[in-house]
A and B are shown apart, each in its own frame.
Chain A
Amino acid sequence: NAGVMQNPRHLVRRRGQEARLRCSPMKGHSHVYWYRQLPEEGLKFMVYLQKENIIDESGMPKERFSAEFPKEGPSILRIQQVVRGDSAAYFCASSPGGSTGNTIYFGEGSWLTVV
Chain B
Amino acid sequence: SQKIEQNSEALNIQEGKTATLTCNYTNYSPAYLQWYRQDPGRGPVFLLLIRENEKEKRKERLKVTFDTTLKQSLFHITASQPADSATYLCALDINAGNMLTFGGGTRLMVKP
> Which of A's residues lie within 8 Å of B, judged by CB?
4, 31, 33, 35, 41-45, 48, 55-56, 58-59, 91, 93, 95, 98-109, 111
Q: Check if B83 is an interface residue, CB within 8 A of chain A.
A: no
User: Within the complex, what minimum Cβ distance (angstroms) separates A57 from chain B?
Assistant: 10
Say whether, besides A42-B103, A91-B43, A109-B43, A104 and B95 are in contact (CB < 8 Å).
no
Does B42 count as interface, using CB distance less than 8 angstroms?
yes
Chain B residues close to A by CB (< 8 Å):
31-32, 36, 41-46, 49, 51, 89, 91, 93, 95-105
Is B98 a contact partner of A95 (Cβ separation < 8 A)? yes
Question: In this complex, what residue of B is CB-closest to A97?
Answer: B98
- Residues of chain A with a CB closer than 8 A to B102's CB: 35, 42-44
Given contacts A43-B102, A91-B43, A108-B43, contact A55 B49 (CB under 8 A): no
23 contacts between A and B (CB under 8 A): A4-B43, A33-B99, A33-B100, A42-B102, A42-B103, A43-B102, A45-B99, A45-B101, A48-B99, A55-B97, A56-B95, A56-B97, A56-B99, A58-B99, A91-B44, A100-B96, A101-B31, A101-B32, A103-B46, A104-B100, A106-B36, A108-B43, A111-B41
Measured between alpha carbons, how far is A44 from B41 in the docked complex, in Å? Answer: 16
Which residues from A are CB-within-8-Å of B46? 103-106
A105 to B91, CA, bound (A): 13
Cα-based distance from A62 to B45 in the complex (angstroms): 29
- Asked if A100 meets B93 with Cβ closer than 8 Å, knowing A43-B102, A95-B98, the reply is yes
